[in-house]
């Protein structure tokens, strides 16, 4: 097996241990994953009765249970309560979430595009997906950030990565275009099949379940439902472009243990020119990063693009430091940009990004992060 020594050494950094404390405790089975707590919080109303509630009533119930969940999670974090002390509700908070996601599929608003496709009636959305979730591959990924591979007492088993097809952002330089631009690639997975994949990955040593793509957000209904069938303890990781809608974030924040979000563009003009466009990229992504950080651990990924250090890299790092707090979040400043997909085919259309970033551009990015006090070196 290819050894990644940084999976061991990264945990020696006090900032990494402190900022990823919850994730690490779940990875080591010292604490239950949040989705398991969501199974133990709920209502005594029977599932059939809950299923009769209107959408408004169901969201109201979700709001009430979210308050209860957050109280319980705090006590579990502080060690004053254990999962075993909680009862088994007739209808769990997790089931309420899965039910809401299923209903949202009738006029889909999983992401900020809110295209309203009735995916249960055979319509496909902007993302190209109907009601089925499709997975192109799943495996133990050893190329992710050091803390995501295990270590710290857990075997270095890699990140249990599940690649969903399709994407709702569609960058012109996409390095995963074979799955993000081709939603029909891969195999259909239902909730039980997905849970079986997740369980197998954990049982064979994965440190976490890493939902990625393409983009996981359009598959939210199957992902939430899979957790209802999952019987192993494992941290849930959301590896996303963060174009989730407010409602999707409400469903996600209580089940995701660690976030691995992208923050690519420092202004909406670059986002508009280098993706499918049509969204308020900066406000959406920033708001979702803030919300995610309130509810879990986080490593933010920023891909340095050539000629975009001043307009994207520096403003992104500034926003992270100013809006999220340099002392609260880890950042991975990534240098692996290469022109792919549309940019590789028609470089004359995007000449600014038709090459790799230079060593000087990378140095400038690192230096800026250093000046802001961002913690990136142990994981970059
Ligand atoms: S997830 Fe897909 S179908 Fe749903 S709102 Fe976004 S683009 Fe539309």
- Cα(66)–Cα(315) distance, rounded to whole angstroms? 34
Tokens 């400038």 belong to which residue?
364
| Closest ligand 1 atom, residue 109 Cα | 5
Ligand 1 near 321 CB (within 6 A): no
* d(CA 109, ligand 1 centre) in Å: 6
Ligand 1 near 248 CB (within 6 A): no
356, pLDDT greater than 90? yes
Q: Which pLDDT value is given to residue 1?
A: 52
Ligand 1 near 110 CB (within 6 A): yes
* d(CA 115, ligand 1 centre) in Å: 6
Q: Which pLDDT value is given to residue 272?
A: 97
Confidence of residue 377 (pLDDT cuts 50, 70, 90): confident
Q: Give, for ligand 1, the residue of 101, 112, 115 to mutate: max count of ligand atoms closer than 8 Å to Cβ.
A: 115
Whether 172 contacts 36, CB under 8 Å: no
Strand pairing report for 133-141 and 91-92 = unpaired
* d(CA 79, ligand 1 centre) in Å: 39
* Percent of the chain scoring above 90 in pLDDT: 92
Q: Give, for ligand 1, the residue of 104, 105, 110, 216 to mutate: max count of ligand atoms closer than 8 Å to Cβ.
A: 110
Nearest alpha carbon, ligand 1 atom 4: 108
Distance of CA 201 to the CA centre of its chain: 17
299-325 pLDDT, tens digit per residue, is 999 999 999 999 999 999 999 999 999
* 236 bridge partner residues: 209
| Closest ligand 1 atom, residue 126 Cα | 7
Which letter does DSSP use for residue 120 in this model? Answer: G
196-249 pLDDT, tens digit per residue, is 999 999 999 999 999 999 999 999 999 999 999 999 999 999 999 999 999 999
Whether 356 contacts 338, CB under 8 Å: yes
43-61 pLDDT, tens digit per residue, is 999 999 999 999 999 999 9
Please indicate, yes or no, whether the overall pTM of this predicted structure exceeds 0.95.
yes
Nearest alpha carbon, ligand 1 atom 3: 125
Ligand 1 near 221 CB (within 6 A): no
């Amino acid at each position: 097996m290819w050894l990644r020594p940084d999976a061991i050494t990264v945990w020696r950094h006090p900032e990494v241990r402190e900022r990823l404390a919850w994730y690490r405790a779940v990875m080591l089975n010292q604490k239950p994953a949040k989705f398991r707590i969501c199974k133990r919080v709920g209502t005594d109303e029977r599932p059939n009765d809950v299923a009769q509630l209107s959408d408004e009533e169901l969201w109201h119930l979700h709001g009430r249970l979210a308050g209860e969940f957050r109280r319980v999670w705090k006590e579990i974090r502080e060690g004053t309560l254990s999962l075993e002390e909680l009862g088994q509700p007739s209808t769990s908070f997790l089931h309420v979430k899965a039910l809401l996601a299923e209903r949202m599929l009738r006029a889909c608003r999983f992401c900020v595009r809110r295209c309203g496709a009735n995916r249960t009636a055979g319509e496909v959305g902007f993302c190209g997906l109907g009601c089925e979730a499709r997975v192109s591959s799943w495996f133990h990924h050893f190329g992710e950030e050091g803390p995501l591979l295990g270590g710290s007492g857990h075997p270095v088993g890699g990140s249990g990565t599940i690649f969903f097809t399709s994407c709702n952002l569609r960058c012109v330089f996409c390095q995963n275009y074979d799955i993000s631009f081709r939603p029909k690639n891969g195999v259909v997975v239902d909730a039980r099949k997905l849970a079986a994949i997740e369980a197998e990955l954990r049982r064979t040593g994965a440190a976490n379940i890493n939902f990625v793509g393409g983009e996981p957000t359009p598959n939210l209904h199957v992902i939430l439902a899979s957790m209802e069938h999952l019987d192993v303890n494992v941290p849930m990781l959301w590896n996303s472009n963060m174009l989730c809608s407010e409602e999707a974030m409400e469903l996600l924040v209580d089940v995701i243990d660690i976030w691995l979000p992208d923050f690519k563009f420092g202004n909406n003009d670059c986002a508009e020119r280098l993706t499918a466009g049509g969204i308020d990229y900066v406000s959406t992504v920033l708001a979702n990063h803030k919300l995610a950080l309130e509810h879990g651990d986080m490593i933010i990924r920023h891909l340095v693009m050539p000629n975009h250090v001043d307009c994207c890299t520096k403003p992104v790092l500034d926003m992270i430091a100013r809006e999220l707090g340099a002392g609260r979040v880890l950042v991975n400043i990534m240098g692996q940009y290469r022109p792919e997909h549309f940019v590789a085919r028609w470089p004359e259309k995007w000449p600014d990004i038709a090459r790799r970033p230079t060593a000087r551009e990378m140095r400038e990015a690192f230096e800026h992060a250093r000046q802001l006090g961002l913690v990136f070196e142990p994981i970059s």
